[in-house]
């Protein structure tokens, strides 16, 4: 049997998996309603969830959004699955945290001293989180396709391309696309990207 697991991003939900069912008719499509808020929590929760799927399914495909892709890679870096589709993935969390610190004029020394700092834009910066990211570089062995919007303010296109080259992933850039794919035009582009990549993989198989 074949399984597709959808991993939502921040403020997303597992019900978003419904959108992808029509593209993968031969797959049992589910959304992963995870609770983890840190990569070390994700490592435990995601690993347990995906290990439980192994017994009943021969092929597992992942579609993951934003930080959901980051958590997936943190937890399942050495687990080779059939395919991963990453939408606006966070592939360099250290650089994102550094950018947020710059936006708020926060130094490393200040963050280390205070431990956690709440930002004006609703994010909590954490020295523990930054230290963990530095000590646990990402690795990823699953064949992957990445969709990126040129107006994504969380990761630069150079960051995305460097990561993709490192893991052998394909990258598709939507001009004027945002980090959050949500408008009609963006969703149509996303759907064509999914369909093109899945059909290409099916023909190769």
199: which 2 tokens? 């059909």
Asked whether the beta carbons of 73 and 138 are under 8 A apart, the reply is yes
38: which 2 tokens? 């840190």
d(CA 83, CA 72): 13
Backbone angles phi, psi at 31, to 5 degrees: -100, 140
Q: What is the per-residue pLDDT across 47-95, written as a single tens digit (0 to 9) for each?
A: 999 999 877 788 999 999 999 999 999 999 999 999 999 999 999 999 9
Q: What is the per-residue pLDDT across 90-122, written as a single tens digit (0 to 9) for each?
A: 999 999 999 999 999 999 999 999 999 999 999
Q: For the chain, list the domains and their CATH numbers.
A: 2-91+139-200 (3.40.50.1820), 92-137 (no CATH)
Q: What is the per-residue pLDDT across 137-169, written as a single tens digit (0 to 9) for each?
A: 999 999 999 999 999 999 999 999 999 999 999
């Amino acid at each position: 049997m074949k399984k597709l697991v959808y991993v939502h991003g921040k403020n997303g939900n597992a019900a978003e998996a419904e959108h992808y069912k029509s593209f993968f008719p031969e797959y049992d499509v589910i959304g992963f309603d995870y609770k983890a808020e840190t990569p070390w929590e994700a490592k435990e929760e995601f690993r347990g969830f995906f290990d439980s799927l192994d017994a009943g399914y021969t092929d597992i495909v992942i579609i993951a959004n934003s930080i959901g892709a980051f958590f997936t890679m943190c937890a399942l870096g050495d687990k080779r699955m059939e395919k991963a589709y990453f939408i606006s993935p966070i592939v360099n969390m250290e650089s994102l945290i550094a950018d947020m610190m710059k936006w708020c004029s926060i130094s490393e020394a200040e963050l280390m001293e205070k431990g956690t700092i709440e930002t004006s834009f609703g994010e909590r910066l954490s020295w523990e989180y930054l230290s963990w990211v530095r000590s646990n570089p990402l690795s990823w062995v699953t064949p992957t396709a990445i969709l990126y919007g040129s107006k994504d303010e969380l990761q630069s296109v150079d960051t995305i391309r460097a990561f993709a080259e490192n893991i052998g992933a394909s990258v598709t850039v939507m001009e004027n696309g945002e980090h959050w794919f949500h408008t009609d035009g963006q969703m149509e582009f996303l759907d064509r990207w999914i369909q093109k990549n899945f059909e290409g993989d099916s023909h190769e198989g």
